[in-house]
Structure 1
Amino acid sequence: MPGLAPHRHSGPVFGYVLESNIFFELEGEEPRVIVAGEAFWEPGGDVVHYQVSHPDPEARSRFVAVCICAPDVDMVTMLEPEEIIARDYLRHPSARQHQG
């Protein structure tokens, strides 16, 4: 799966990896690999989801996610390059080796 650009959700997101694994990075947290059978969540709101991708671009991964949206707010807001730069100090220090 190609990586998803930095974004935020208007409300919380709950997910579960069905097949293989995903590389996952939330603002302020160390990037990690989530494997099949494990769950993940995002608080939504102002927290940025920097990366979700497959560590092996030749393999397939599948996950299901449920997004609880705030009323009258888009489910996903993509970040502009200026905001990504301005918030860089909020990323976990280890994220710099995985920046996407």
Structure 2
Amino acid sequence: MSAAGWKPDEGWGREVLLPPNFPLSQARLGLTKDIVEWDLLGVLGAAGEPLAGGETLGSIVLPAGARGPAFLVLPNFQVIYAWSRSLVSVEFLGDS
């Protein structure tokens, strides 16, 4: 997978908390922002801590819909998704 862009020193992503006024149109795999931008939108780590990561690009995905958990996925997630586009992956990403 390293030939596809996998970076072994980076994770795939993490669970995050979205603010109540988060625009759900921003939660889609094709929309990336750097971590600072997500932080400015009020996105927090799962334990309520500020995000860290600076200019790393990521996308917000809601695999179980608006009422389920939210994840900030990083470039390694894109590598996994490009490598294995199974129905499980499609269900995870949704159509948003």
| TM-score, L = length of structure 2 | 0.31
Work out which structure has the larger RCO, using CA pairs closer than 8 Å and 6 or more positions apart in sequence. 1
Greater strand proportion: 1
Task: Select the structure that is richer in helix.
Answer: 2
TM-score, normalised with respect to structure 1:
0.30
